[in-house]
Amino acid sequence: MLGAIQANLQKLTAPTMNSPILVTGASQRVGLALALNLAQAGHTVVSASRSKSPKAEHPNIIQFQADLCLEQDRLALIDHLQRNYDGLRAIIHNASLWLDDDLANLNTMFKLHVEAPYHLNLALGEQLLKMNKADIIHICDETSSRGSKSHIGYAATKAALQNMVLSFAEKYAPVVRVNAILPGLLILKENSDDAYRQQTLKKALLEFEPGAQPLIEAVQFLLESQYSTGSNVVINGGRHLKNRIAVD
């Protein structure tokens, strides 16, 4: 009995060359590290980003250049996936923009954080449902559940992305598990000075810059999990507790 269960788990989680993982925004920073990790584990990864990166060159990574804010680019990506692959193991919506608050930026972030995932999830549903188990993972943000007075539009569009997890989890169950990851600080902004670095790190209980590894571990957990859907995985170093301590 145990042997049969283990065999089924291996079948569900084993990399499949003709059923890739789509990762958006995978040309730099955390998305790049995630794509490389998945590729090194044996998965075929389709990286959809506005620009190609020499750092993402790997035998298992197919770089597809697309501006996901544009419908015609999304349609080209959808057509590529439907024509070239038998199914789709997972979609990981990592593409993100952290822009200041104004109407133009709000529209851009809405297209990338909400419209693009909505479009891709609907259009590629049949590809996901061909699998024994498939996953959709929305990379949201810890501010998507608490707001941000300095980046209202960013937090609001990430909150919409988080909310869609619930609807798509219901729509595609039980074959497709749909979950969200809510990261806090993972990698500091480039060229950060020491004052900014110290101020930012002190906002969490775990006062260090973790890099991409926490998100990679969260993705690995969800890809292997058999009993998680419509859920949130928070990786913020205890920032919510630090805020509570400050108030107390």
Mode of pairing for the β-strands spanning 45-49 and 134-139 = unpaired
| Alpha-carbon span 57 to 61, nearest angstrom | 7
Say how far apart CA 34 and CA 92 lie, in whole Å: 10
Active site residue ranges: 154
CA dihedral 231, 237, 240, 246 (to 10 degrees): 180
Contact 171, 118 (CB under 8 A): no
| Residue 113 contacts residue 105 (beta carbons within 8 Å) | no
Burial class (CB in 10 A: 0-12, 13-18, 19+), 54: exposed
Using alpha carbons, select from 95, 31, 105 the residue that is nearest to residue 68: 95
